[in-house]
A and B are shown apart, each in its own frame.
Chain A
Amino acid sequence: MPEPITVTVNGRSVAVGAGATVAAAMMISESHCRKSVLGEPRSPLCGMGICFECRAVIDGIPHCRSCQIVCAAGMEISTDE
């Protein structure tokens, strides 16, 4: 049974199953992914990389499509403001 992975979302530690995507990790930690132009919190919509609502900052890089990026141990994830 693969070990769970720990990442941080907005500074908080989150444990996710191996192979889980960053989008899933953010939802598990009850964080939205980004803020819209008018300031609304947004979370994944399409789950397949076309809606861009799941954009997050991953290890300092903004605008990453988190639903297509698999979590790696120690990843630092934060909301794309």
Chain B
Amino acid sequence: MSREQKHFDVLVVGAGPAGIAAAVTAAECGVVVGVVDDNPAPGGQIWRGESANGPSEPASWLTKLHDRNIQMLSGTRVFDHPEANVLHAETADGFLELGYRKLILATGARERFLPFPGWTLPNVMGAGGLQALVKSGLPIAGKRVVVAGTGPLLLAVASYLRQHGARIAMICEQASLRSLGRFGLALLSQPQKIVQALALRKHLAGVPYVTRSWPIAAGGDGILKDVLITRGRGTEKIACEYLACGFHLVPSTELAALIGCRMRDGYVDVDHLERTSVPDVFCAGEPTGIGGIERSLIEGQIAGAAAAGRPDLAQKHGRARAKLERFARALDRTFALRRELQSLPLPETIVCRCEDVTYSRLRPYGSWRSAKLETRCGMGPCQGRVCGPATQFLFHWTPDSVRPPIFPAFLTNLAARACREAQPSGAMRGSQ
């Protein structure tokens, strides 16, 4: 197993839109940039599998990522922050110690999963989850799919799947038509989004779309075969091969928390230059507020410029940033979870999937910690990433503080000693 050490002026964690924008911007300012990402190729979730060829927005950013003096370290997962200015990461071959002068956290978001009877059946997946699998080689043509949950991701996923031949039996959005209507009005201030919305509408023509609807139970024997959803006052059972179900997004803030960044309402607290409370550490994109691609790109550019010592360049994005903040807040409001979803699990419904802890076992506990210690809920390899947001919604538990490793890592890598003398890279070159 290999053991390597690298050092960068600016290190970006995450190669989704925010991370790519940050890296490209910083590199344009003349600094040595490294980007680490745990997926096999850059793009994060939303640009997974996008090619660098062609005229699209992702292609243009991905091209810049490859053309600049940026070192892209894919397949690399950060698991520890052993001391200031040092990260430890695991690769397919071994261990990588990363030294940095400035750090930009662009760790993105993940789906919120809520438990309901049958949700652990194979082929019940997240909405983004199914899309990711299809992008990773799962054929979906001709397959019947129900898309459910909440959030703009549902439409984007349904549209993508349909374009790849899936038969979308229904899209079930738990938000009300009224909430969505108000959200639609919010879109009027974002012309780009209207274009997106119209495109989605075109791709989803003919697909049944119901609001105030959510899954009650997934059925099947060892594998999914149908899903029971609410519909108006009644219910409806829909035969399907896949259920793509996710309840909007939660920010991935574990690394920020480990480093000691101050949080605000569960998001990383940053100023207008994306600086966190920890010196030399910036944060951009979904971890500071769920707000979609445009917001991630803007925040990434701000953070990249600021980290490269060019706050003047960062400031020109100020107005766009403020506007996108408002959009992010509209998102939160629109796709807030309705109370009925708290009653979805039955006593025997599994809530913690890593340790198979059921709803009835968890219900008596008043805190995350006591539940965890006595039932093992949250002690599995997902480290509470799935059951944490679920139990927070179901029981109002607040999560524990974060400890290393923030992802499971091979023992030999966890044991690797931090190198005290991290050698400085080439000095910040370039303009001004």
Per the CB under 8 Å rule, do A and B touch in the complex?
yes
Whether the pair B353, A51 counts as a contact (CB closer than 8 A) is yes
Q: Which residues of A contact B (CB under 8 A)?
A: 16-17, 19-21, 23-25, 27-28, 32, 36-38, 40-53, 55, 63, 67-71
Whether the pair B137, A25 counts as a contact (CB closer than 8 A) is yes
In-complex Cβ contact of B129 among A16, A19, A47, A52 (8 A)? A47
Whether the pair B122, A42 counts as a contact (CB closer than 8 A) is yes
Which applies to chain B's interface (DSSP): helix, strand, loop or mixed? loop
Q: Does B94 contact A (CB under 8 A)?
A: no
Whether the pair A38, B122 counts as a contact (CB closer than 8 A) is no
A48 cross-chain contacts in B, Cβ below 8 A: 39, 45, 110, 128-129, 132
In-complex Cβ contact of A46 among B110, B139, B222, B350 (8 A)? B110
Whether the pair B138, A46 counts as a contact (CB closer than 8 A) is no
- Expressed in whole angstroms, the Cα–Cα distance for A17 and B130 within the complex equals 17
Whether the pair A51, B138 counts as a contact (CB closer than 8 A) is no
A16 cross-chain contacts in B, Cβ below 8 A: 137
Whether the pair A45, B125 counts as a contact (CB closer than 8 A) is yes
Q: Which residues of B contact A (CB under 8 A)?
A: 38-40, 45, 75, 77, 92, 110-111, 113, 120, 122-126, 128-133, 136-139, 222-223, 252, 350, 353-356, 380-382, 385-386, 408
- Expressed in whole angstroms, the Cα–Cα distance for A1 and B344 within the complex equals 46
B125 cross-chain contacts in A, Cβ below 8 A: 43-47
Which applies to chain A's interface (DSSP): helix, strand, loop or mixed? loop
Known: A46-B111, A50-B110. A28 touches B139 (CB 8 A): yes
Whether the pair A20, B137 counts as a contact (CB closer than 8 A) is yes
Q: Which residue of A lies closest to B246 (CB)?
A: A46
Known: A24-B137, A50-B386. A38 touches B126 (CB 8 A): no
B131 cross-chain contacts in A, Cβ below 8 A: 47
Whether the pair A23, B353 counts as a contact (CB closer than 8 A) is no
B111 cross-chain contacts in A, Cβ below 8 A: 46
Q: Which 5 A-B pairs have the closest CB atoms?
A: A20-B137, A47-B132, A43-B122, A24-B137, A47-B129
B40 cross-chain contacts in A, Cβ below 8 A: 21, 68-70
- Expressed in whole angstroms, the Cα–Cα distance for A23 and B133 within the complex equals 8
> A67: shortest Cβ distance to chain B, in Å?
7
In-complex Cβ contact of B136 among A21, A32, A63 (8 A)? A21
A21 cross-chain contacts in B, Cβ below 8 A: 40, 133, 136-137
B38 cross-chain contacts in A, Cβ below 8 A: 49, 68
- Expressed in whole angstroms, the Cα–Cα distance for A43 and B121 within the complex equals 8
> A48: shortest Cβ distance to chain B, in Å?
6
A51 cross-chain contacts in B, Cβ below 8 A: 113, 129, 353, 382, 385-386
Whether the pair A52, B120 counts as a contact (CB closer than 8 A) is no
Whether the pair B386, A19 counts as a contact (CB closer than 8 A) is no
Residue from B75, B136, B350 whose CB has the most chain A CB atoms within 10 Å: B136
B136 cross-chain contacts in A, Cβ below 8 A: 19-21, 23-24, 47, 67
B45 cross-chain contacts in A, Cβ below 8 A: 48
A43 cross-chain contacts in B, Cβ below 8 A: 122-123, 125
Whether the pair A44, B133 counts as a contact (CB closer than 8 A) is yes
B123 cross-chain contacts in A, Cβ below 8 A: 27, 43
Known: A21-B137, A24-B137. A45 touches B386 (CB 8 A): yes
- Expressed in whole angstroms, the Cα–Cα distance for A51 and B252 within the complex equals 13
Q: Which residue of B lies closest to A25 (CB)?
A: B137
> A76: shortest Cβ distance to chain B, in Å?
17
> B253: shortest Cβ distance to chain A, in Å?
13
Q: List 18 A-B contacts (CB under 8 A).
A: A19-B136, A21-B137, A24-B137, A25-B137, A37-B356, A38-B356, A40-B120, A40-B350, A43-B122, A45-B386, A46-B111, A47-B129, A48-B129, A50-B110, A51-B353, A67-B136, A68-B38, A68-B40
Q: Which residue of B lies closest to A38 (CB)?
A: B356
> A46: shortest Cβ distance to chain B, in Å?
5
> B231: shortest Cβ distance to chain A, in Å?
25
B122 cross-chain contacts in A, Cβ below 8 A: 32, 41-43
